Amino acid sequence: MGAKKARPVTLQMIADQLGLHVSTVSRVLHAKPGEGLRAASSPTVERVRRLADELGYQRNPHAMSLRTQRSNLIGVLVPRLSDVVLATIYEGIEEAAAEHGLSTFVTNTRDVPEVQRARTEMVLGRRVDGMIFGDAHSDSGFLDEVAARGVPFVLVNRRAGGHPAVVCDDYLGGRMVAEHLLEQGHRDVAVVAGEPYASTGVDRTGGFADRFREAGLPIPEHRIVHSRFDAQGGRAGTERLLASGPLPSAVFVVNDFGAIGTIGALRDHGLRVGADIAVVGFNDTPLAAELPVPLTTVRSPMREMGRRGLRQLVRVLAGEQGESELLRPELIVRASSDPARYERLMAKVGG
Amino acid sequence: MGAKKARPVTLQMIADQLGLHVSTVSRVLHAKPGEGLRAASSPTVERVRRLADELGYQRNPHAMSLRTQRSNLIGVLVPRLSDVVLATIYEGIEEAAAEHGLSTFVTNTRDVPEVQRARTEMVLGRRVDGMIFGDAHSDSGFLDEVAARGVPFVLVNRRAGGHPAVVCDDYLGGRMVAEHLLEQGHRDVAVVAGEPYASTGVDRTGGFADRFREAGLPIPEHRIVHSRFDAQGGRAGTERLLASGPLPSAVFVVNDFGAIGTIGALRDHGLRVGADIAVVGFNDTPLAAELPVPLTTVRSPMREMGRRGLRQLVRVLAGEQGESELLRPELIVRASSDPARYERLMAKVGG
DNA sequence: CTGAAAGCGCTTACAG
DNA sequence: CTGAAAGCGCTTACAG
């Protein structure tokens, strides 16, 4: 038992069967389409292609990489793939990579600097052609080092230190939320702001706070708390908020998962989201719409961000200058911050 | 500007600087620890190691793979990484792989057979040493083919066709849910059963239905509907359930994300989860506990499943027989199916 | 204990 | 249009 693993077909095998030299076969099979010079005569090309097809030839990537010093591999670092935001961005990266004939290594760094370093070395040790970081810290020392070493890379999700980055216009997203809450008449608001080292949370908070300041309602410091980017973090941040003073009328949580924790904490304090207090999240993850009280949030083009990040990396690999891109967010209003929608919802449930 | 990418250090460079032959350096640096035979004299070993360290030598994996026909790479296929269940299993795989000196390619197949085929070929084209499938379909024709080709692989998450698989004891998990609902006095229940090609949903439903049958309460066919494994799927399945007859007193949704869709649909029909109808999910994903009405669910050891799956693959790669493993699930009762807990919750919120 | 050779599978100027 | 050679960086018996 146990099927023997067939030795893969090589160029040499094809050459032998056809009485050609391996270099001719190589030229035929892998001549760049743009290449003006013909690889061989039409009949030869035909024969080679046919046999390669028949035998199911697949180029040995290790041999090719060794010879060309190009691996067509890229490394992707994310804080954690179990965060649906990063997983979705990665799906975009992978999709676009496949279209460019590139394969991706993706790895979790849990936002721990030592792990970021170690995984970067590991990935570089694999001789990737370039990297995409989804876990940049605002203190960009590490990335500066990587850049100094000449490693081509781009950032997605979070920006840092002026390196080419494809991110959502988080500042604008924060302003949109502020605008919405101001329209709803909120005057005393709070923010669960995420990790202080992540541009996402910082920029969202910044836009939000700026807009309130412009409205003559600067947000006091104790109304802004940092937190981890998950349900636990949202819960913990909210508990601190509730302990630190009177109840605000609205809470902006800089990501949906945090918002879920916030909702849990508010519930534990006997507060009804949408009625007693407004809550707004960020990212419009799939469950925001499905929550018992649907969550107002800001939609960010996550998959598209991944696709564009990969495209920028391809440009960098081609020797061009990588460009930063700012993707447009969109406010999605739902019952968690809109009394009219909340009433309609309750009417249905109540009746 | 533009740091030049330094050419990586090779064995040859080290050998030259030390006046040694490259083969000696190779032996020193990469002799297996188990190897009884010494690679070189102590002083030589010392000098080589020191210089390698100093220069930051990293073995070129392409050269090594080409020479040894072993890539230390494994391919992982999942339906989608944006499903937190699969992302968490993958985290376990990656963790364990790193401990074994292996790197992983992971790729999304969206449960589409043509994509599964294409991605498998792509990954095999990268010359991985083995594969882990998290997206097996019960109709195991494709996997049988892969096995016949002699590709070493194991399954995680879903089992199929008797191939080595590390999965949760889904059947038992389903029985646990049934047991719990029977204790709560439910007699008329329904199931949102997931995709019919996935053993997870099928086994969970099977265990659940068997237990009810044993209790003398066989579940009529129209009370079991199939659905996609996400919030949208749960919502759609639940709508069909609600359209097909009188209201059941409890709904078992075979995964948490589906359950969220179910909760959304029930809400839209004016039903209060935990009061008017019980809902139970599966997997205990992080948000189950944070939902406004916390969700009863079955905890499955997702990360551990990934770790064990990788370990089984390592065994297979070592020429041993891969073994299937069944991991133990645990029922987590919360307010969505427990009137006592629900009352306590409401008392807090109401007050 | 250390060196020399062969070879993994490919690509790329260079001849002819 | 096609062949021959060199070489990417490594490992692995085999000599000595």
- Please indicate, yes or no, whether residues A203 and A272 belong to a single structural domain of this protein: yes
- Please indicate, yes or no, whether residues A21 and A87 belong to a single structural domain of this protein: no
pLDDT band at A350; cut points 50, 70, 90: low
Give the CA A10 to C1' C10 distance in Å. Answer: 9
Strands (E), B134-218: 153-156, 165-168, 189-192
* pLDDT tens digits for range B278-295: 999 999 998 898 888 999
> Smallest CA–CA separation between B104 and chain A, in Å?
7
Q: How many CA atoms lie within 13 A of A31 on its CB side?
A: 16
Whole-number Å distance between alpha carbons of B201 and A261: 28
* pLDDT tens digits for range A239-287: 999 998 899 999 999 999 999 999 989 988 989 999 999 999 999 998 8
- Please indicate, yes or no, whether residues A159 and A177 belong to a single structural domain of this protein: no
Q: Which domain holds residue A212?
A: 170-296+333-350
pLDDT of residue A33: 57
Within 8 A of B267 by CB-CB distance, chain A residues are 292, 345, 348-349
Has residue A6 got a pLDDT over 80? Answer: no
Whole-number Å distance between alpha carbons of A54 and A230: 52
- Please indicate, yes or no, whether residues A199 and A280 belong to a single structural domain of this protein: yes
Instruction: Please report whether residue A261 resides in a domain.
Output: yes
- Please indicate, yes or no, whether residues B195 and B261 belong to a single structural domain of this protein: yes
Has residue B55 got a pLDDT over 80? Answer: yes
Whole-number Å distance between alpha carbons of B294 and A256: 17
Instruction: Please report whether residue A338 resides in a domain.
Output: yes
- Please indicate, yes or no, whether residues B153 and B207 belong to a single structural domain of this protein: no
Q: Which nucleotides of D are covered by protein (CB under 7 A)?
A: 1-13
Query: What whole-number percentage of chain B has pLDDT above 90?
Result: 80
Q: Could you tell me the CATH number of the domain that includes residue B288?
A: 3.40.50.2300
Has residue A307 got a pLDDT over 60? Answer: yes
Instruction: Please report whether residue B4 resides in a domain.
Output: no
Q: What is the mean pLDDT of chain B?
A: 92
Three state DSSP letters for chain A: CCCCCCCCCCHHHHHHHHCCCHHHHHHHHHCCCCCCCCCCCHHHHHHHHHHHHHHCCCCCHHHHHHHHCCCCEEEEEECCCCCHHHHHHHHHHHHHHHHCCCEEEEEECCCCHHHHHHHHHHHHHCCCCEEEECCCCCCCHHHHHHHHCCCCEEEECCCCCCCCEEEECHHHHHHHHHHHHHHCCCCCEEEECCCCCCHHHHHHHHHHHHHHHHCCCCCCHHHEECCCCCHHHHHHHHHHHHHCCCCCCEEEECCHHHHHHHHHHHHHCCCCECCCEEEECCECCCCHHHCCCCCEEEECCHHHHHHHHHHHHHHHHCCCCCCCEEECCEEECCHHHCHHHHHHHHHHHHC
Structural domains counted in chain A: 3
Helix (H, G, I), strand (E, B) or coil at B69: coil
* pLDDT tens digits for range A60-116: 999 999 999 999 999 999 999 999 999 999 999 999 999 999 999 999 999 999 999
- Please indicate, yes or no, whether residues B229 and B344 belong to a single structural domain of this protein: yes
Q: Is the CB of B41 under 7 A from strand D?
A: no
Task: Tell me which DSSP letter residue B296 carries.
Answer: B
Instruction: Please report whether residue A129 resides in a domain.
Output: yes
Instruction: Please report whether residue B6 resides in a domain.
Output: no
Instruction: Please report whether residue B65 resides in a domain.
Output: no
A348 touches chain B (CB under 8 A): yes
Residue located via tokens 């030259």: B16
User: Average of pLDDT values for B225-250?
Assistant: 93
B272 touches chain A (CB under 8 A): yes
For A74, name the nearest residue in chain B, comparing CA atoms only.
B105
pLDDT of residue B42: 78
pLDDT of residue A4: 57
Instruction: Please report whether residue A213 resides in a domain.
Output: yes
Has residue B245 got a pLDDT over 90? Answer: no
* pLDDT tens digits for range A183-233: 999 999 999 999 999 999 999 999 999 999 999 999 999 999 999 988 899
A264 touches chain B (CB under 8 A): yes
pLDDT band at A8; cut points 50, 70, 90: confident
Query: What whole-number percentage of chain B has pLDDT above 70?
Result: 95
- Please indicate, yes or no, whether residues A133 and A205 belong to a single structural domain of this protein: no
Has residue A2 got a pLDDT over 50? Answer: no
User: Average of pLDDT values for B2-8?
Assistant: 64
Within 8 A of A122 by CB-CB distance, chain B residues are 98, 103
Residue located via tokens 């799939």: A286
pLDDT of residue B36: 45
**Residue A325: which of A92, A144, A163, A197 has the closest Cα?**
A163
Name the residues in B55-84 having a C-beta closer than 7 Å to nucleic acid strand D: 57, 59-60, 63-64, 66-68
DSSP A203-261: HHHHHHHHHHHHTT-PPPGGGEE---SSHHHHHHHHHHHHHTSSPPSEEEESSHHHHHH
- Please indicate, yes or no, whether residues B24 and B37 belong to a single structural domain of this protein: yes
Has residue A39 got a pLDDT over 80? Answer: no
- Please indicate, yes or no, whether residues A91 and A198 belong to a single structural domain of this protein: no
- Please indicate, yes or no, whether residues A146 and A157 belong to a single structural domain of this protein: yes
pLDDT of residue B291: 86
pLDDT of residue A349: 65
pLDDT band at B274; cut points 50, 70, 90: very high
Q: Which residues pair with A39 in a beta bridge?
A: none
Instruction: Please report whether residue B257 resides in a domain.
Output: yes
pLDDT of residue A41: 74
Q: Is the CB of A27 under 7 A from strand C?
A: yes
pLDDT band at B8; cut points 50, 70, 90: confident
pLDDT of residue B1: 39
- Please indicate, yes or no, whether residues B137 and B202 belong to a single structural domain of this protein: no
